Amino acid sequence: MSSDRGSDRSRPPAVRFAVRAAVAGAVLGCAVGLGAYNNWLVSLLVGVPLMVTALVISPRPRRIDGMLKAGQSRKQIPVTIEALTRSSLDASDVQPTLVTATISPPNDTDYRARWLTAMPKPVAATVLQDAETTLPSTLIPPRPDTSLSYDVGIAPGKATEFGNHPPKSTLLQPLITVLVAVALFVGVGDGWHISVSLPDAGISSISVEETEPTYDPQQQIDNLLRQIRTLGPNAENSILSLRITHDGYDSASVLDRRTGESIDIDFSAASERWAPVERNTTDLRAPRTFRSDDLARMPFTAIRDEMNAVVPEKSRSFQTMTVARSGDDQPVLATADFGEEIEDKVDIQANTDGVVATWFNPGDFQTSVTLAAEMLAEAGIPTDQPILNRFEIRGDPDSATISAGDIQNSGGVLVEYTDLKSSGSLSRAPGHFPSLRIYSENKSGRLRTGSFAFTEVSAATFDQVRNDAMRRGNVDTFDRDLVDIEASYRYVLDEYQTVISIKSGPDPTEEIYSLDGQYIAPK
């Protein structure tokens, strides 16, 4: 009979891994024996392939071993998520995830459980959006003898934690491999020698280099679009998102305009196979869709290469690219993630004309002020009228924060304004296009007290203020870009006034200056 959890194999996983470890040990012993007792050509032609074979077939413990894994399951189980903790030690799509939830099986009573599962990133994202959701049955634990209580904590030593996986028993796998290899090598002894006379070819060394396959972004996108066209006559005009990765695991979502569901497809370049088509609930509607024709002017491979050339050198490792709208009726953008390590990760955008957004260093005040002026001009906001409520430059995402805002986690430039019609903001982060937000209509028809014109501040004044703040705070030169500076109307020295505030360095004190750069006081 079939099961939602997939077909079970005849042997338990531990037995299968032990058998693989023993076979790997035998192959490894043969490789070492033949290589040690014979000339270089036998070692090269026989020993090296056997060594590689042993490494390939030997089991390797993984962080997700012993956990529930997403398999081919069409059955979705309703759950109410209470807590979810997802590991992020690496950039893998599937991560150990600790879940506490109430499970509501169809035609059965609810039960509460806490368990570890190997959860893919898209599933985790869905769960984080809505606690009342469904999970594939392959990610659901069986009903325990006693449901997890709401009142009583878990007894010490019995809690399900990340440290419990992989099981310590997985350490036996490499031990079995080594023991079998040593036993075979020592037991055969001189019997490994093959009596054959081979000529000396004069080869001193041979280098064998293994490289990971690389994938072409344009081909990946074209492959997704071809598959989307097989979903229906209107599918290519109802695309919600396209996503490609550096390792060839690509996906797409299409809106079914008849049911309001998303049709999701996934492709693995490694196996050259499409996963079964899935249908899922979604809150996204027609204003978030785009047409395949919208991408006609986007050379995705060239875009990826240009992005890679402009991001910081330490981040020049392409990871993923997602094509989507950021909101209803917003422009279609391709957003790419670069950087293998967490601390090196950055993202950068390109529009449907194939233009890559400017990557800049916000700590270069002259560049930031110039880009802010361009941003205001494109939005039709005058720079010579006193309508600015706040002008901020954040040199680095790790800078201390003066005021929360759109660039708090990215760095960049931010302008908040109130003109005679409305209040809003313009922001621009490195690698992103300018973003305009309208807060509200200006029903009073008056400008705010303390507003100032963009032309009243300058890069030279901001640099003067930063230099003085660095001197007062003994900030090292290499921390020069670790700065948050803004001009705004604030309460200082018992009165409201338009001033420049700055926090400079890793552990700064907020300092206050006049608009012409004269020191006033610490905050």
Q: What confidence score (pLDDT) does residue 157 get?
A: 40
Beta-carbon neighbour count of residue 282 at 10 Å? 18
Contact between residue 342 and residue 315 where contact means Cβ atoms under 8 Å apart: no
Structure-block tokens of residue 86: 């997802």
Which long-range contacts (C-beta less than 8 Å, at least 24 apart) are formed by 504-508?
Answer: 504/466, 504/469, 504/470, 504/473, 504/475, 504/479, 505/400, 505/470, 505/473, 505/475, 505/476, 505/479, 506/400, 506/479, 506/482, 507/400, 508/400, 508/469, 508/473, 508/475
Q: What confidence score (pLDDT) does residue 419 get?
A: 93
Distance CA 269, CA 281 (A): 27
**Per DSSP, which regions of 269-387 are E strands?**
273-274, 278-281, 318-325, 332-338, 346-351
pTM of the model: 0.59
Distance CA 154, CA 194 (A): 62
In the chain, what are the helix, strand and coil shares in percent, each to the nearest 5?
30, 30, 40
152 pLDDT more than 50: no
Q: What confidence score (pLDDT) does residue 119 get?
A: 77
**Per DSSP, which regions of 39-91 are E strands?**
68-69, 76-86
Band the pLDDT of 153: cuts 50, 70, 90. very low
Q: What confidence score (pLDDT) does residue 36 get?
A: 64
165-207 pLDDT, tens digit each: 555 555 566 767 677 667 666 666 666 666 554 454 443 444 4
Beta-carbon neighbour count of residue 114 at 10 Å? 17
Report residue 138: phi and psi, to 5°.
-70, -15
Contact between residue 111 and residue 102 where contact means Cβ atoms under 8 Å apart: yes
Q: In what order do the strands lie in the sheet with 111-120?
A: 68-69, 111-120, 94-103, 76-86, 132-136
Structure-block tokens of residue 6: 């997939």
Mean pLDDT of the chain: 83
Distance CA 59, CA 24 (A): 8
Classify the phi-psi angles of 260: left when phi > 0, otherwise alpha if psi is within -120 to 50, otherwise beta: left
**Per DSSP, which regions of 176-260 are E strands?**
239-245, 249-255
Band the pLDDT of 23: cuts 50, 70, 90. confident
Q: What confidence score (pLDDT) does residue 7 get?
A: 39
Q: What confidence score (pLDDT) does residue 9 get?
A: 40
Q: What confidence score (pLDDT) does residue 443 get?
A: 87
Amino acid identity, position 435: S
Q: Among residues of the chain, what percentage have pLDDT more than 90? A: 53
Band the pLDDT of 236: cuts 50, 70, 90. very high
281 pLDDT more than 80: yes
How long, in residues, is the chain? 523
212-227 pLDDT, tens digit each: 678 999 999 999 999 9
CA angle 18, 22, 23 (to 5 degrees): 120
Which of 135, 152, 145, 59 is CA-nearest to residue 97?
Answer: 135
Q: Classify strands 68-69 and 111-120 as parallel, antiparallel or unpaired.
A: parallel
Distance CA 219, CA 73 (A): 29
25 pLDDT more than 70: no
Q: What confidence score (pLDDT) does residue 74 get?
A: 66
